[in-house]
Amino acid sequence: MATYTAPLRDMRFVLFELLDAQSAFAAMPAYADVDADTVMAVLEEAGKFASQVIAPLNGVGDVEGCRIDADGAVSTATGFKEAYRQYVDAGWPSLACAPEYGGQGLPITLNNSVYEMFNSANQAWLMYAGLSHSAYECLRTHGTDQQRTVYLPKLVSGQWTGTMCLTEPHCGTDLGILRTRAEPDADGSYRISGTKIFISAGEHDMAENILHLVLARLPDAPTGTRGISLFLVPKFIPDGNGEVGVRNTIRAGSLEHKMGIHGNATCVMNLDDARGWLIGEPHRGLNAMFVMMNSARLGVGMQSLGLAEMANQQALGYARDRLQMRAASGPVRPDKAADPIIVHPDVRRMLLTNRAYTEAGRAFSTWVALLIDQELSHPDPAVREQSGALVTLLTPVIKAFITDNAFDTINQAMQVFGGHGYIHEWGVEQLARDARINMIYEGTNGIQALDLLGRKVLADGGARLAAFGQLIAAFVAEQGDQPAMAEFTAPLAELGGQIVKVTGAIGASAGNNPDAVGAAAVHYLRLVGHLVYGYFWARMARVALDNADSGDGFYTAKLATARFYFAKLFPETAWHLAALRAGSEPLMALDAELF
């Protein structure tokens, strides 16, 4: 059985040496008392819960899956329900929620790191709780006072969980053609009918109630996305005291039989005149739902980061122990029949690729979480606005670049294991199956690329991208007289300039060629992703160089990984630039009937 060890040393490095989170917290009155010792104490306990409670259930959930009875009730795998009770009793659901609803009022940055560990240990299990925080954020922002009073304390405590019900059998990303209907009732509620598919944790036995956030159309709705409204549809309708009342007519019709995440119940949900209540304004449901969707997109990035960390740990442990052949330079372990495979260059390539992508993903996602805290809680409006703009720009990069790289990482880990990686008992093949969905969830990665290039860059004339570019330019200028940093800053500055040029070229082409953005988008996201990772690896190299004389091997490894990233992975940008500049003609020239 695979075991998990929380990467607390690297988390401390990212939070307090790289990002100086303590100073950032001190500038926000809500978090002024949150210091490094508090953060690390919470992370240490979260690491224990991850490794001791939910990691041992990961394989159990994969083998057992979930069961559904004739009435649509779902039972989860052995131990899942009991682990969730421990999760609730320990207060984990309330960590980053507002005190007025029973929350602990701690930073989202801290919650982000906790979720990374829980995802490493058992993504399928965490998915029962993960969307609850997104539902909390949506209701807190767009719910009525009554909705917030009745529902938020239950979500915060973990007593109730939440889901997001968007997809229908005939439509996924194209929500403008959804068919679920909502008819107004005399008491102010709505009667909602339709079918939703692919609903994660849509039905389960882990919490006493499930709150479904459902997109549907009112009778007078205009066509397209402008006619979509958002409704709160509880499994059990709360009574006058806010406790579980009568059963609503929303039920699981079946469970999806999936490639991975078997331990999570992915449901077809049928609504038959189910009672629901409007969230936000009529016909503006996507506005409200995007609060939840953007939170979920960040969460999906963290799912894959967690799985990549787990795969990296397993592959490294195996490479240190597995004996195969001798090192090319001569025996490293002459006392053994062969050397451990970690001596071989190609195995090192795979391990260093995994390390480089995982550690950069941790730095990037932690920084974005800190930006979210600043967007929501900083006293300076200018800081809030700047932070929010960067979060908006980088959300599709978090979702797509991290999930793509994590899947590559897990495949590399399987290769390190050789034939054993294909065998269930080692756990790596499960990670590959589980991780594959994250490239599809919450808008496929192709959709994320279109969102980045079309909506986040071209739509505002590149203003948000320029703001991020200014951070890079300032860092490069600051390091300009440091020869030891040139190997990091020179390629970073060059890529930044190339992205500016190619962005302008795409924008100019898009006016005459409707396929220009679609043809460029995926290549463009890979370029921006490497710009982000390159920025953080350069910054991490700076910290490592500053501590080079400490005698701590942690910094030696960090610097070596930074050099590997720029030498072996960053050059991917060259072929994406070449492919991007080829335009849409190679994609669109062949008639569809000739495929």
- Spatial distance between the Cα atoms of 535 and 527, rounded to a whole number of angstroms: 12
How many angstroms from the chain centroid is the CA of residue 83?
22
Written as one letter, the residue type at 431 is: L
Let me know if 483 is exposed, middle or buried by CB neighbors in 10 A (0-12, 13-18, 19+).
exposed
Alpha helices in 107-246 (DSSP H): 108-142, 145-157
CB 252 within 8 A of CB 211: no
- Give the pairing of strands 160-165 and 209-216: parallel
- Spatial distance between the Cα atoms of 400 and 51, rounded to a whole number of angstroms: 27
Nearest to 358 by CA among 314, 418, 422, 424: 314
**Tokens linked to 578:** 């070449």
CB 369 within 8 A of CB 114: no
Let me know if 276 is exposed, middle or buried by CB neighbors in 10 A (0-12, 13-18, 19+).
buried
442 is catalytic: yes
Q: How many CA atoms lie within 13 A of 19 on its CB side?
A: 25
- E-strand spans in 244-360? 244-247, 250-255, 266-279
**Tokens linked to 580:** 């991007």
Cα-Cα end-to-end distance for the chain: 45
**Tokens linked to 324:** 């195969």
Q: What is the DSSP letter of 324?
A: -
**Tokens linked to 449:** 């690329």
Q: How many CB atoms lie within 10 A of CB 379?
A: 10
Q: What is the DSSP letter of 231?
A: E
List the catalytic residue out of 442, 478, 494, 585: 442
**Tokens linked to 594:** 């000739």
- Spatial distance between the Cα atoms of 450 and 522, rounded to a whole number of angstroms: 7
Nearest to 372 by CA among 109, 132, 137: 109
- E-strand spans in 53-99? 67-68, 74-75
Coil, strand or helix: which one is 507? helix
- Spatial distance between the Cα atoms of 293 and 287, rounded to a whole number of angstroms: 10
Coil, strand or helix: which one is 433? helix
Active-site amino acid positions: 442
